[in-house]
Structure formats: C-alpha cells, structure tokens
Amino acid sequence: MRLLFREDAYRREAPGQVLTVNDRGGIELDSSLFYPTSGGQPGDSGRLVWDGGVCDIATAVKGEGDSVILVPAEGGDLPAVGTNVTQHIDWDRRSGHMAVHTALHLLSVVIPLPVTGGSISQAKGRLDFDMVDPLEDKDALGAALNALIARNLEVTESWITEEELDANPGLVKTMSVQPPRGAGQIRLVRIGDDAEQVDLQPCGGTHVARTGEIGLVRLGKVEKKGARNRRVYLHLAEADQTHV
C-alpha cells in the first residue's frame, strides 16, 4: 500500500481504489491519505466520495503489514470493491495532530527525561516522564518551549536500518513504545538542521514542516502518576485554553 500521508502530510485529498471491504465494514484502498492510529497519535477522519456515493470515515487503524483500514461512521454507504474514490481528510483535525505531535517532541527536549507514555489530540497532548522530583519551574519550561518553537526550525525525516538503531539506542526516548520493526528500516524525525539540530528520534507520525507553524503553547497540569511517573499536559494556545 502507498502511504500518502507519509509522502506529504499536507495533502488534503487524493484518489484511491477500493481493494477490500471486510465483514465489519472496514475499507482498504490501494493507497491511504489517512494516518492510522499508532504511537499515541489518533487516526485521521474524513470522507470518501465517489460517483453516486459518500462515506464518512470515523478513523483509520493499522491492518496487516503496511495496510491501513478505514473505519466508516455508522449508517453510511459503503463503496463496492473496485470503486474509484476521492479521499478527503478532516484537515483541521490532521493539522492539529501535526502541531501537537511536533510540540511534544520539543517538550521532550526541554524536559530531557525518559518518556513513559503519551497521547495526542487536535488541541492538546501529554507526555508521561520517568520523573521522581516535581518540576521546579513550569513557567520557565513553558518559556523555553515557546522559544524553541519561535526559532521556526525545519522538521525533516530520514531513514536508518534496524541495525543502525540498535547501535544507537539513545535515539529512542520512549520507554513504553518502541519503533516498529520488521520492515528493515526505521524512520527518524529531525528538528533543526545539522547546525541547529535540537531533536532526533524514531517516529512514524505526521509533523509540521517548521516549528513556527505550531504557534504559542502553554503547559497545563502536571499530575503525579506513581512514584517515578509524572504526566505533563501541553495545549495549543489558540485552540484550547480550558482545563485538562
């Protein structure tokens, strides 16, 4: 399957052809503009449109191998196998996920501790850290995070082999989620170029092209989740100013 979201995270629509529709209504196309739920990032929503039909897509999940299964909303029409469709993603949702995901990578820079978990939504996200002591100055960390964002650093990707990752285990910041293996290659997301690199870690998600697109963020609650675990919430300032 061709993973269009990986080729261009900013693409909002694309053609596709229905390969299968499973017994639960899951739709597999020959290519996917929809990012499937994984690594703490929710799957994309949107719709499929074809001659004489429309199907709203609630989310997308991983299938076997690189396949992506589109999960239709209840009560909608399903396209027949072989139908040529146009894929449309919910751009507001996707762009929110991209901004939050990149901001969380930067949060792991200003809090340089092992990450034990995380999640992403359209307006906010959180990381769990292996953190024994409470944060000393949340406002200072928030200021440092916004300063990194304001540098408008470029966000790029590269690929290494599984053997190269094994030789550089420090690239993996997450303790709870390991990079997917089996394909022989691991995708790395880099923030900043060679002279200004601030972060480099394995990641399969979608990201903004430059950090300036994130805008201002604010740090929300910091919750203690065990003797060695603290959860730090992050909000996009323009999207959600409410409590967690």
Longest dimension (CA), the chain: 59
- Where in the chain do CATH 2.40.30.130 domains reside? 2-89
- 32 DSSP 8-state letter: E
- Assign domain 94-236 to a CATH class: alpha beta
Q: How far apart are CA 192 and CA 179, in angstroms?
A: 21
Residue 137 makes CB contacts below 8 A (sequence gap 6+) with none
Reading the chain (244 residues) residue by residue, the pLDDT tens digits are 999 999 999 999 999 999 999 999 999 999 999 999 998 999 999 999 999 999 999 999 999 988 999 999 998 899 999 999 999 999 999 999 999 999 999 999 999 999 999 999 999 999 999 999 999 899 999 999 999 999 999 999 999 988 888 888 888 877 556 666 556 788 999 999 988 899 999 999 999 999 999 999 999 999 999 889 999 999 998 765 444 4
Tell me, what DSSP letter sits at residue 90? -
The fold adopted by the segment(s) 2-89 is Elongation Factor Tu (Ef-tu); domain 3 (2.40.30)
Contact 94, 57 (CB under 8 A): no
Residues of the chain with CATH 3.30.980.10: 94-236
DSSP 8-state secondary structure symbol assigned to residue 207: -
Token code pair at residue 120: 């992403």
Candidates 114, 128, 194; CA nearest to 156 is: 194
Residue 243 β-bridge partners:
none
In DSSP terms, which residues pair with 125 in a beta bridge? 120, 234
